[in-house]
Amino acid sequence: MHIGIIPDGNRRWSREKGLSIRLGHKAGAETLEKILDHAVKRYEFVKEISIYCLSTENLVKRTQEEIKDIFEIQADYFYRFSRDPVVHERHVRGRVLGFTSQLPTNVMDAIRRMEEATGAYSKHLVNFLMPYGGQQELINAAKRVVMPPYGPLALPNIKSSLEENLFLNSPVDLVIRTAENRLSNFLIYQTAYAEYIFLDKFWPSFTTEDLDMCMLEYNRRVKRRGG
């Protein structure tokens, strides 16, 4: 099973509590750590989890101060991930996918540490999408399909050729989003037949019980996958 998570609402959570936006993002990172540990300990059949950590739009629309805070929190998170006992006990591999050339040195250093520390694991895979945008991912993949070394030879099998050029080519089974009821450019191709669960709460307030509820709801649903 592959779960996609859109952890939205850090800023609104912090405003509601009279805290700084930085503290909202920090609380969101702490929630993510708790949820991932719970997921890999309780749900062995969940082989892959993809988290929408930072969109390409965020880089343009947020202030430089906020982006700097986000990067610092993410760097710290990846260092913690590389040392997390649960990660090593459960053989969790962490990797970052997206337009990573836009990330600063401190974040890239932390990513390399995480990927080196967990690269040999294969029981669970956690994809951190940052900076990421689904439309641009598809555009870039399509460009590569019609250019060398693919070119016209790829056209008879364009589906597999396109999938080979995506950041992520495994289909998502369940998408969980907090605070809003839309995808916001998240894994557009990969979520074509996914089930969606939207929760009316901010991400820092998301609990392990909420995750358990989402898993129960997913199991109740009939998955038609277009049929």
**Do 197 and 177 meet the contact criterion of CB atoms below 8 Å apart?**
yes
Number of domains within the chain:
2
Interhelix angle 64-83/105-118, nearest 10 degrees: 20
What lies within 8 Å, CB to CB, of 176 at 6+ separation is: 3, 4, 5, 6, 197, 199, 211, 214
**Do 8 and 53 meet the contact criterion of CB atoms below 8 Å apart?**
no
Please give the positions annotated as active site. 8, 58
Residues 58 and 150 grouped into a single domain: no
Question: pLDDT at position 157, please?
Answer: 75
Which domain range does residue 149 map to?
Answer: 134-166
Residue at 227 is within a domain: no
Residues 36 and 146 grouped into a single domain: no
Residues 175 and 161 grouped into a single domain: no
Please report, rounded to a whole number, the percentage of residues in the chain having pLDDT higher than 70: 95
Mean pLDDT, the chain, rounded, equals 94
Shortest CA distance to 31 belongs to which of 55, 5, 54?
Answer: 5
The CATH number of the domain holding residue 62 is 3.40.1180.10
Strands 92-97, 2-6: pairing kind: unpaired
**Do 181 and 226 meet the contact criterion of CB atoms below 8 Å apart?**
no
Residues 28 and 70 grouped into a single domain: yes
* Residues paired with residue 129 on neighbouring β-strands, in sequence order: 52, 97
Using the predicted structure, report yes or no on whether residue 149 has a pLDDT greater than 80.
Answer: no
Using the predicted structure, report yes or no on whether residue 146 has a pLDDT greater than 90.
Answer: no
Question: pLDDT at position 213, please?
Answer: 98
Poorest-confidence range of 20-24, 32-36, 139-143? Answer: 139-143
Using the predicted structure, report yes or no on whether residue 153 has a pLDDT greater than 60.
Answer: no
